Amino acid sequence: MTTTLITGGTVVNATGRSRADVLIDGEQIAAILPPGSTILGHDLAGSVDRVIDATGKYVIPGGIDAHTHMEMPFGGTFASDTFASGTTAAAWGGTTTIIDFVVQYAGEDPLTQFALWQEKAAGNCAIDYGFHQILSDVQDSSLTAMDTLITEGVTSFKLFQAYKGVFLSDDGQILKAMQRASENGAMIMMHSENGSVIDVLVQQALERGETSPVHHGYTRPWQAEAEATHRAIMLANLTGAPLYVVHVSADQAVAQIAQARDAGQNVFGETCPQYLYLNLEDQLAAVSEEWGDFEGAKWVCSTPLRSKHEGHQESLWKSLRTNDLQLVSTDHCPFCMKDQKEMGLGSFAKIPNGIGSVEHRVDLLYQGVVTGQITLERWVELISVTPARMFGLYGRKGVLAPGADADVVVYDPHGHTSIGVGKTHHMNMDYSAWEGYEIDGHVDVVLSRGQVIVAGGAFHGRVGHGTYQRRELSQYLI
């Protein structure tokens, strides 16, 4: 068992920051100590196998990305990151745990799908991983499967109010799943967009010959998100189930969540870096020499990027401060332009939906600290602490404390990160949605369960190191 001492840094948890040394014994944190501590007269640094100098740097719990889709079968293809490539990229960016989604399409058996996803991930992850489960057609058997899956550590279930014929559950099916969740304690995650409305708007746009990527945004208006969010909140209220709304992008959807929270309901919301920084005009409507007006396909995701003229981003940042939104995940669902996004040349409706960001979430959110939008502690809370609490990993993950897994990031606030293909880009994508982003801050060292997996600008980890994380019920409910 290797012993490691991280010295000289500022340890940041959700509750505050302090100058402290972190002693790691094997896979776990053994102690958080005053800087330069001695034990029985012995200099601690001289008694451990390895010393990591974190002078002038932040020492934070490893990032937890609670929303990823590695090798997801979707839109007629597969998300381009495998569990191996995606978790390696995540590690580079300071993320030490992902929670991915088992996919159950209509007609498939949830438990069979869970076994399949366990097989895909086992031995193929560079960092630890857990699963949520997507439920598509909620049958009686799906409800009993929920109970079983909870005993397997899958304690959250994603339902969809959009993608008719693919994922969509009708309100009655949603109601039934929520009734079950109110009994078994599961978290209901919701993709809140009114799918019927969107399908009509998409059809009408295509009939008018509006086929370019920007029309993906125009046909998924904020009203469709806000309405579905409201409906999901009302169904959760009716049943008593906790509700977590994923990839929130519209100010008006945030308002629905805030109102429910003010009334004391267990309603939570997540946003993603793309909604905090990117927008409809500059990205979805972009034109390039290489791709013409198809350039915007790089940023086709759902919910869509919103107009920069409607105040959505200001609202999202504010909500991250006021805790109307609780965490930032990536919804990492990468597709290459070549052969994948290209499937939508001629019809935006055929562009596979998704953006890849798993490598950049920690850095991108740190810009909120740099610009004064969030505190250092809130940054750590959004990227690690709350994901752990929300999804039943806290204690083991999401905190630097004795007994916790030694998932640790040494973050250099004076460092610099240039994002882009050929620079920092380890995701299996032929473009970066973040090309040209210059980041104040740098992920210097990453440890996963006591092992250094990134240091000195090199990857020292191993695909297969990551282990399945059985999750408890949410530790965040009011």
Contacts of 16 (CB under 8 A, 6+ apart): 377
8 Å CB contact between 376 and 369: yes
Q: Which of 63, 195, 334, 354 binds ligand URP (CB under 6 A)?
A: 354
Closer Cβ to ligand URP, 63 or 352, answer by number: 352
Task: Give the count of beta carbons closer than 10 Å to the beta carbon of residue 55.
Answer: 9
193 binds ligand URP (CB under 6 A): no
8 Å CB contact between 163 and 195: yes
124 binds ligand URP (CB under 6 A): no
Closer Cβ to ligand URP, 331 or 444, answer by number: 331
Closer Cβ to Zn ion, 30 or 134, answer by number: 134
Selection from ligand URP, Zn ion, none that 415 binds (CB < 5 to 8 A by kind) is Zn ion
Selection from Zn ion, ligand URP, none that 442 binds (CB < 5 to 8 A by kind) is Zn ion
8 Å CB contact between 338 and 430: yes
- DSSP calls for 425-450: --SS-SS-TTTT-EEEEEEEEEEETT
Residues 277-306 that bind ligand URP (CB under 6 A): 301-302
Closer Cβ to Zn ion, 415 or 420, answer by number: 415
Q: Which of 80, 319, 340, 353 binds ligand URP (CB under 6 A)?
A: 353
How far apart (Å, rounded) are the C-alpha atoms in residues 59 and 254? 32
Closer Cβ to ligand URP, 301 or 445, answer by number: 301
Q: Least Å distance between CB 225 and Zn ion? A: 11
How far apart (Å, rounded) are the C-alpha atoms in residues 319 and 195? 26
Q: Least Å distance between CB 313 and ligand URP? A: 18
CB closest to ligand URP, residue no: 353
Tokens (6 digits) for 406: 């030694």
Q: Which of 21, 331, 359, 381 binds ligand URP (CB under 6 A)?
A: 331
Closer Cβ to ligand URP, 48 or 72, answer by number: 72
Residues 222-241 that bind ligand URP (CB under 6 A): none
Selection from Zn ion, ligand URP, none that 298 binds (CB < 5 to 8 A by kind) is none
Q: Least Å distance between CB 85 and ligand URP? A: 17
Q: Which residue bears the tokens 């009011």?
A: 478
Burial of 475 (0-12, 13-18, 19+ CB in 10 A): middle
247 binds ligand URP (CB under 6 A): yes
251 binds ligand URP (CB under 6 A): no
316 binds ligand URP (CB under 6 A): no
How far apart (Å, rounded) are the C-alpha atoms in residues 431 and 341? 11
Q: Least Å distance between CB 163 and ligand URP? A: 7
Helix (H, G, I), strand (E, B) or coil at 24: strand
Residues 58-77 that bind ligand URP (CB under 6 A): 69
8 Å CB contact between 95 and 127: yes
Q: Least Å distance between CB 247 and ligand URP? A: 6
Selection from Zn ion, ligand URP, none that 353 binds (CB < 5 to 8 A by kind) is ligand URP
Kindly list the residues in this chain that would bind Zn ion in the complex (CB under 5 A).
191, 331, 412, 415, 442, 444
Residues 132-151 that bind ligand URP (CB under 6 A): none
* Coarse DSSP helix, strand, coil percentages of the chain, rounded to the nearest 5 percent: 35, 25, 40
Q: Give the binding-site size for ligand URP (rule: CB under 6 A).
A: 9
Selection from Zn ion, ligand URP, none that 301 binds (CB < 5 to 8 A by kind) is ligand URP
Q: Which of 191, 312, 378, 425 binds ligand URP (CB under 6 A)?
A: 191
Selection from ligand URP, Zn ion, none that 253 binds (CB < 5 to 8 A by kind) is none
How far apart (Å, rounded) are the C-alpha atoms in residues 345 and 212? 8
How far apart (Å, rounded) are the C-alpha atoms in residues 105 and 165? 9
- DSSP calls for 156-214: EEEEESS-TTTT---HHHHHHHHHHHHHH-PEEEEE---HHHHHHHHHHHHHTT--STH
Spell out the alpha helix ranges (H) of 40-104. 83-92
Selection from ligand URP, Zn ion, none that 412 binds (CB < 5 to 8 A by kind) is Zn ion
* Distances in whole angstroms, Cα of residue 101 to Cα of each of 204, 325, 420: 32, 21, 27
- Site for ligand URP, rule CB under 6 A: 69, 191, 247, 301-302, 331, 333, 353-354
